[in-house]
Amino acid sequence: MSDQKPQQDQPQTPTPAEPEHADAVPTEAELQRVATPATVRRAPKVSVFMTLGALLGILIALVLVQVTASGGARGSDGAGFISLFDGLGSVRFLVGLALGVFGAFAGGAVAVVLDRRSARKR
């Protein structure tokens, strides 16, 4: 006994020479008539600009605090709840936070300006 069914029960598949929808393929002239030219616009990634702006703001804040700190300023004695935020550490943190947020907004603004500029060139 054979496990194969007779070929009469199997559906006939079309051969490659006989496509099912021969009229569904458009001609070259029809494609030229219907097609519209496409342009690719490269938009900047806003999140990357905001992240770089925030990091640059934090870096500027750390340098600014280090340069403007006086030599006799009270340093961290480690007696606070979180010793990182004691004395000059709290100044670094707050200025870094403020300039980081400002840098993120500035980076987002630069991305929006570049995006509008690339949209105008079309």
How do residues 55-88 score in pLDDT, each as one tens digit?
999 999 989 988 887 765 555 555 556 666 667 7
Average pLDDT, the chain: 77
Place of tokens 């219907």: 34
Does any domain span residue 25? no
Number of domains in the chain: 1
Does any domain span residue 10? no
**Residue 99 pLDDT:** 94
Distance CA 35, CA 28 (A): 10
First to last CA, the chain: 72
Does any domain span residue 97? yes
Taking the C-alpha atoms of 97, 102, 103 and 109 in order, what is their torsion angle to the nearest 10 degrees? 150
Residues in CB range of 104: below 8 A, 6 or more apart? 50, 51, 53, 54, 57
Helix (H) or strand (E) holding 46: helix 46-68
Does any domain span residue 105? yes
Does any domain span residue 85? yes
Does any domain span residue 95? yes
Does any domain span residue 44? no
pTM: 0.57
Domain extent, residue 113, equals 49-66+81-120
Does any domain span residue 33? no
What is the token pair recorded at 21? 């929808």
